[in-house]
Chains A and B, each alone.
Chain A
Amino acid sequence: MTTALIILIGTIVTYVIYRASKIVYKKWPLPFFHPLLLCPLILIAIIQLSHLDPGEYALSSSLWTHMLGPATVAFAIPIYKHAHLLRKNIMIILTSIAAGTLVAIGSSLLLSLVMQFNGDLLISILPRSITTPIAIEVSKTIGGLPTLTTVFVIVTGVTGGIIGPYVIRLMALKSPVARGLALGMGAHGVGTNKAMEYGEQEGTFSTIGMIMAAGMTLIWAGLLIPSLLQITIL
C-alpha cells in the first residue's frame, strides 16, 4: 500500500469511529463512554485483533494529530471575543492558576513518593497537567522522558474530562471563571473542550487557564522543580 492510501484509510477510519463514539456518548453520557476513552479503545482493539503495527496506525492518523497545532492557534478566537472578561478578571486568573500549577506539581510529587515511584516515572509525571507540546518541553528541562510525559498528559486529559463535571458540582462552582479555570488548569485541551459545552465564557476562561498553566509551569520548571527534586529524591 502506498503511504497516501494508508493515510486516507487511517484518517477516515479514525474519523468515523470518533463520530460514532460521540453519538454513543451523547445518547448514554456515562464516564466510560467518554469519546477520548471509547474511540481509542475501539481503535486499539481493531489494531490488536488485525495484528496491525501501532507505528503504522500513528502514521495513518497523523493528519488528525497535526490538527492539534492549528487548533491551538484557533484558541485565539474565544480569547479575542472575550478579551474584556480577561482584563476584568486578571487577578483571579493569575492567583488561581498559580495555586493550580503548584498544587498540580506538589500533589503529583507527594503521591509519587507515597506510591514509591522512582526516577524517570516520578520526574515525567510532574508536568502532566499542561498541554502536550509544553509538557514535553518541561519534561526535557527537568530531566524526564518526553514520551512518558505525553502518555501522562493524555491520561490526565481523559480523567479530567470525565471527573470535571463532578468536581464542579461537588465544589458548587457557580461562576464561569471558576468553572473554566478549574477545567483548563486540570485537564488542558480536553478540559477546555468540556468547558465549551458549559458556555462561551467558560470556554474562554478555560483556554486562558490552559495557556497560563503552561506558562507558569515553564517558570516553575526553571525555578522550583529542580530544588524540589533535590530535596525529595536525594
Chain B
Amino acid sequence: MVLKTITILSQLALIHVFYFAGVGLAHILSLPVPGSIVGLVLLLLSLFAGIVKLEWIEKAGGWLLAELLLFFVPSAVGILNYKEILNWQGLETVLLILISTFIVMAATGFTAEKLYRRKRKGGHTS
C-alpha cells in the first residue's frame, strides 16, 4: 500500500516535470498553444526516443486519465459565478449546446464510420 502510493506519487512528479517544462517552453517561445499540450508533445517525443519508459509513468498516468471528471468538478461548480445565465436565456443556451453537440457527434461519427467502411472494402478488393 505504502509502496504503491510512493510509486504513484513519484510517477506523478515525473509527469509534472513534463507539464512544467511544457508550460515554461510555451511561455518562453510565446506559443499560441497551452503549456499542457506542449508537455504532451514533449512526453510523447521522449517516449518515442526511449528517454522515458512507459512503466515509469503508466500508473500515475492511468490514474489521471481515469479520474479526469474530478478535475472538471471545480470549474462546473464555478457556474455559480454566472447567476445571470441561470434564467430563460440560460435554458436556451443549454438547449443550443445540446442540439449542436448532438449534430457535431453525429456528423463526426458518420464521416469516420463511412470512411472506415470504404477503406476496409477498398483494402479487400485491391
Contacts and interface: CB of A to CB of B under 8 A. Distances in A.
Contact of A75 (B65, B106, B111): B65
A189 interface: yes
Q: How large is the interface on A (under 10, 10 to 19, 20 to 34, 35 or more residues)?
A: 35 or more
A154 B32 contact: no
B112 A111 contact: no
Given A74-B61, A74-B65, A77-B57, A111 B79 contact: no
Main secondary structure of the interface of A (DSSP, over half): helix
Given A81-B54, A151-B82, A181-B109, A134 B104 contact: no
Contact of A189 (B47, B72, B112): B72
A136 B22 CA distance: 18
Q: How large is the interface on B (under 10, 10 to 19, 20 to 34, 35 or more residues)?
A: 35 or more
B18 to A, nearest CB: 5
Given A171-B110, A182-B108, A43 B69 contact: no
A100 B34 contact: no
Given A35-B69, A69-B35, A58 B110 contact: no
A30 B79 CA distance: 22
A76 B40 contact: yes
B60 A74 contact: yes
Interface string A153-189: 0111111110110011011111101110111011101
Main secondary structure of the interface of B (DSSP, over half): helix
B27 interface: no
A67 B64 contact: yes
Given A64-B71, A80-B44, A181-B108, A159 B34 contact: no
Given A40-B73, A61-B74, A155-B93, A185 B61 contact: no
Given A134-B33, A159-B101, A187-B101, 5 more contacts: A92-B115, A132-B75, A182-B109, A183-B105, A209-B108
Interface of A: 14-15, 18, 35-36, 39-40, 43-44, 47-48, 54-55, 57-58, 61-62, 64-65, 67-81, 83, 89, 91-93, 95-97, 99-100, 103-104, 107-108, 111-112, 115, 117, 121, 125, 128-129, 132-134, 137, 147-148, 150-152, 154-161, 163-164, 167-168, 170-175, 177-179, 181-183, 185-187, 189-193, 196, 203, 209, 211, 214, 218
Interface of B: 12, 15-16, 18-19, 22-23, 32-37, 39-41, 43-44, 47-48, 54, 57-58, 60-62, 64-82, 85, 89, 92-94, 96-113, 115-117, 119
